A and B are shown apart, each in its own frame.
Chain A
Amino acid sequence: MATEVKLPRLGQGMESGTIVKWLKSEGEQVQKGDALYELDTDKVTQEVEAEASGVLLKIAVPEGEVEVGRTIAFIGSEGETVADSPVADSAVADSPDGHSAREPAPAVAQKAADVPAAAATNGASQGRVAEVEPGGRIKASPLARRIARERGIELSGVRGTGPDGRIVAEDVERGDAQPATAAPAAVGAPSGEVESRPLTSIRRTIARRLTEAWTVPAFQLTVDADMTRANELVAGQRELNPDVRVTVTDLLTKICAHALMRHRDMNVQYSEDALLVFPSAHVGIAVATPQGLVVPVVHGAERLSMAQIASVRGDLVSRARDGKLRSEDLAGGTFTISNLGMYDVDQFVAVLNPPQASILAVGATRDQVVPRSVGSQREIARDFARPGGELHVLPVMTMTLTCDHRAVDGATGADFLRTIKAFLEDPGLAL
């Protein structure tokens, strides 16, 4: 009996993946542990290993997006045959004499035909949403059925991830969160001048997560900082560490990590049952890549020197641009910095990166004429002692902090932002 190769769930929340290419061809010998195919998930592209040894009998899904748990290939012994259609294969039991009764029952054939567009337009995604048994009954746990009944969800539209494709409660709840509107008639749509690009999994993830962020009550706080000393420090660090290129983002990462450690109420996440307070500052840095936005994380940034942060950040960014990030690079962030200063943006408002409670949007540093009271804290102190004063031209950077109001109150955020400002204007204070 051939072993079915099913699309694995490689991380929490992974629902589907895109097969980029097969590294073995049909008929080839495969050893358990051999790299079998390349899989693009919403986070990373990686090689997936074979879980069985034998001959790669059949590749059911040559490429394209596939739901977790679907059969994508068969590994078995030389000369063994497998059914053409995974739907028929799983729906019809082997007869006792070892020959397979492969003629699908009419109801099954009907169901298979009912599965629309996706199958016709995209051979890779045959759109088997629910495991259908002969007679048209869908396999679902009693709990899954009850939830579906109570919420008015059609089980035929839900993809099962349990044993043999059984729909379990989690599947219904996931399906509930994302109503079955995913049928993209994209490929068949009239092209005209509008170019229709199928959504990549990373694009879908961005859409899903940021839509989720939009449902969170958020507020924004904006502050200016005099960057005179920060710029001096970055320049000094570059001289000290000529082999790593230290940037303002690295200083910001370091400073934000220290500020988070001083304001533990900011290093939090809101969850249904509790407010999670994290012991370490894992600072995510938003990176634009050809594939889309990703946020790799500098873990434990409060314990790293600026040069170490620069080196970690440099590695993450270059791998992000090459699409070589691993799941762990993207996991565990407790705070995010989004810096659009290099694009000459003065200031902007970032959307939360859930489940994190806050994100800092950083603009470009510009020379501005400022009255003294906007200057550094030291200057303010001096000016109070000597009122009157004059105008200054200072390098000023504007930052906007977006906070999840369920987890953080305005005063808490303001206090945190004040610390960041103070650290930037006098980096020695962060020590």
Chain B
Amino acid sequence: MPELSYREAVRDALSQAMRQDDDVFIMGEDIAEMGGSMGVTHGMLDEFGPERVRNIPISEMALAGAAIGAAVQGMRPVAEIMYEDFMTLAAEQVVNQAAKHRYMSGGQIKVPVVFRTQGGAGWSPGAQHAQQLEAWFVHIPGLKVVFASTPEDVRGLLWSSIYDDNPVVFFEHRTLYGIKGEVPEKIEPIPIGKARVHREGEDVTVIATGRMVHESLAAAVEAEKEGISVEVVDPRTLQPLDEETLVASVKKTNRAVVAHEAVTRMGFGAEVAAVLQYQAFDWLDAPIERVGSRFTPLPFAPIMESYVIPHMETVLEAIYRTVNKKV
């Protein structure tokens, strides 16, 4: 199987869709000559030309609105919002327009648009360029929300998102662009709404997204040395949520940790914890633990940033609390 970086996997899904389908095009700030601020669309202008790799002015609201308009007219646009933080500027279009048209038209209008965006801390970007705002969008009926953590998943899920007839907010994690992983020779679409069990275990289930999938897998290796068997599950799609897989895992292990980089308070993990306690109440042997950032804007200073965001150790401590192990 070929190996791709997470960044190349995103580019591969975009390019292959554009090669096979004239309706697919991309638009965003600095995505053409510059190849995007994260280099994801590097080289695509040369292959597809300025009609299909469209630079737009610095207005996320205009970008989102134009993409939605094109989608309603039958295209399959992929709009790149340079930073997740700037989704707030596009929120009117995403939340009030994209999410609503299909419902309000009684199904007559489809909105097959993808809003690709990225965020995530760990490289000292400060308070305005690294937030994890997925919780804002999973709260909106009418949107699908995807957050992939591996090259294989990001390619297969972006493919499915492009060909989904509903608006998809597609989160990528800044610190994962460089990671490499094997991907199938030919793109295999990954169904939206299907979790992935990365590692099977018996004692506690860690449900993690984005960067925390990797931190949790590392924590699982550490816990194993202490005789604690950890199952790591990545929902991959936050909306709709694969409740069945998550609940089945927790019914097996009787304990759960929910881990994401976004702040814990009102986070995506809170919803997961609620789903678990309701559907697996009689199977829980310990309170569900939540792991996330401390409730503060992200500090610039690396040492402070590191203090605020969760790491492998944070997950490990939560795992230990669920099994009542003193450390």
Q: Which residues of A contact B (CB under 8 A)?
A: 141-146, 161-163, 168-169
B288 smallest CB distance to A (angstroms) = 11
Cβ-defined contact, B324 with A141, below 8 A: no
Q: Is the CB of B324 within 8 A of A169?
A: no
CA gap between A161 and B326 in the complex, in Å: 13
Q: Does B284 contact A (CB under 8 A)?
A: yes
- Whether A143 pairs with B254 at a CB distance below 8 angstroms is yes
| A169 close to B285 (CB less than 8 A) | yes
- CB contacts (< 8 Å) of B307 on chain A: these are none
Distance (whole angstroms) from the CB of B304 to the closest CB of chain A:
29
Given contacts A141-B286, A144-B285, 16 further A-B contacts (CB under 8 A): A141-B284, A142-B281, A142-B283, A142-B284, A143-B283, A145-B282, A146-B282, A162-B286, A162-B324, A163-B321, A163-B324, A168-B285, A168-B286, A168-B324, A169-B254, A169-B285
> Hey, what's the 0/1 contact readout for B101-140 against A, CB within 8 Å counting as 1?
0000000000000000000000000000000000000000
Smallest Cβ distance from B5 to chain A, in angstroms? 41
CB-based nearest A residue for B277? A142
Secondary structure at the A interface, as helix, strand, loop or mixed, is helix
For B, the interface residue count at a CB cutoff of 8 angstroms equals 9
Residues in A whose Cβ lies below 8 Å from that of B254: 143, 169
CB distance from B26 to the nearest CB of A (A): 48
- Cβ–Cβ contact A142 & B282, under 8 A: yes
Residues of A within 8 A of B283 (CB): 142-143, 146
Contact with A along B253-270 (1 / 0, CB 8 A): 010000000000000000
- Docked complex Cα distance between A144 and B281 (Å): 11
Once the chains are docked, how many angstroms separate the CA of A291 from the CA of B117?
71
**Chain A residues whose CB sits within 8 angstroms of the CB of B286 once the complex forms:** 141, 162, 168
A118 to chain B, nearest CB (A): 25
Complex CA gap A176/B131 in Å reads 50
Q: Quick one: closest A residue to B286, CB to CB?
A: A141
Complex Cα distance A163/B283, Å? Answer: 18
Chain B residues, CB < 8 A from A144: 285
Least CB distance from A336 to B in Å reads 26
In the assembled complex, which residues on chain A have CB atoms less than 8 Å from the CB atom of B284?
141-143
Central interface residue in A143, A145, A163, A168, by most chain B CB within 10 Å = A143
In the bound complex, what is the Cα–Cα distance between A388 and B324 (angstroms)? 73
Q: Hey, which bits of chain B sit against chain A, CB under 8 A? A: 254, 281-286, 321, 324
Q: Which 9 A-B pairs have the closest CB atoms?
A: A146-B282, A143-B285, A141-B285, A169-B285, A142-B284, A142-B281, A168-B285, A142-B282, A143-B254
User: Can you give 13 contacting A-B residue pairs, CB < 8 Å?
Assistant: A141-B286, A142-B282, A142-B284, A143-B254, A143-B283, A143-B284, A161-B324, A162-B286, A163-B321, A163-B324, A168-B285, A168-B286, A168-B324
Query: Which of A143, A161, A162, A163 has a CB less than 8 Å from the CB of B282?
Result: A143
- State A141–B283 Cα separation when bound (angstroms): 9
A169, chain B: closest CB distance, angstroms: 5
A145 CA to B281 CA, complexed, in Å: 10
Q: CB-CB < 8 A to B324: which residues of A?
A: 161-163, 168
Residues of B within 8 A of A161 (CB): 324
A206 → chain B closest CB, angstroms = 28
Expressed in whole angstroms, the minimum distance between the Cβ of A321 and any Cβ of chain B is 33
A141 to B254, CA, bound (A): 10
Q: Which residue of B lies closest to A168 (CB)?
A: B285
Q: Hey, which chain A residues are within 8 Å of B282, CB to CB? A: 142-143, 145-146
* Least Cβ–Cβ distance between B252 and chain A, in angstroms: 12
Query: What residues of A have a CB within 8 angstroms of the CB of B281 in the complex?
Result: 142
Q: Which residues of B contact A143 (CB under 8 A)?
A: 254, 282-285
How many whole Å from B258's CB to the nearest CB in chain A?
A: 17
Give the shortest distance, in Å, between B54 (CB) and chain A (any CB): 54
Across-interface contacts of A163 in B (CB, < 8 A): 321, 324
By a CB distance below 8 angstroms, the chain B residues around A142 are 281-285
Chain B residue contacts of A145, Cβ below 8 A? 282
Instruction: Give B283 Cβ to nearest chain A Cβ, in Å.
Output: 6
Closest to B321 in A: A163
- In the complex, residue of chain A having the shortest beta-carbon distance to the beta carbon of B254: A143
Report the Cα distance A163→B255, complex, angstroms.
14
A142 to B282: give the CA distance in the assembly, Å: 5
A214 to chain B, nearest CB (A): 30
User: A27: shortest Cβ distance to chain B, in Å?
Assistant: 27
- Please measure, in the bound complex, the distance between the C-alpha atom of A161 and the C-alpha atom of B324, giving whole angstroms: 9
Bound state CA distance, A143 and B254, in angstroms?
A: 8
Distance of A130 from chain B, by nearest CB (Å): 16
Q: How far is the CA of A146 from the CA of B281 in the complex (A)?
A: 9
Chain B residues, Cβ within 8 Å of A141: 284-286
B254, B285, B324 — which one has the most chain A CB atoms within 10 A of its CB? B285
B281 to chain A, nearest CB (A): 5
Contacts of B321 in A (CB 8 A): 163
Chain B nearest CB from A406 CB (Å) reads: 23
What is the distance, in angstroms, from B113's C-beta to the closest C-beta of chain A? Answer: 42
Q: How far is the CB of A12 from chain B (nearest CB, A)?
A: 10
How distant is B255 from chain A, measured CB to nearest CB, in Å?
9
Which chain B residues border A168 with CB–CB below 8 Å?
A: 285-286, 324
Task: Tell which of A142, A144, A146, A161 has the most Cβ of chain B within 10 Å.
Answer: A142
Complex Cα distance A146/B285, Å?
Answer: 10
- Complex alpha-carbon distance, A141 and B323, angstroms: 12
- Report the Cα distance A143→B281, complex, angstroms: 7
CA distance A141 to B280 in the complex (A): 12
- With CB as the reference atom, state the residue of chain B lying closest to A69: B324
In the complex, how many angstroms separate the beta carbon of B228 from the nearest chain A beta carbon? 14
Question: Measured between C-beta atoms, what is the minimum distance from B145 to chain A in Å?
Answer: 30
Q: Tell me the nearest residue of chain A to B251, going by C-beta.
A: A143
**For the complex, what is the distance from the CA of A144 to the CA of B286, rounded to whole Å?**
10
Could you tell me the distance between the alpha carbons of A62 and B63 in the complex, rounded to whole angstroms?
75
Min distance, Cβ B265 to any Cβ of chain A, angstroms: 23
B69 to chain A, nearest CB (A): 50
Expressed in whole angstroms, the Cα–Cα distance for A163 and B284 within the complex equals 14
Q: CA A168 – CA B284 in complex, angstroms?
A: 9
Distance of A283 from chain B, by nearest CB (Å):
26
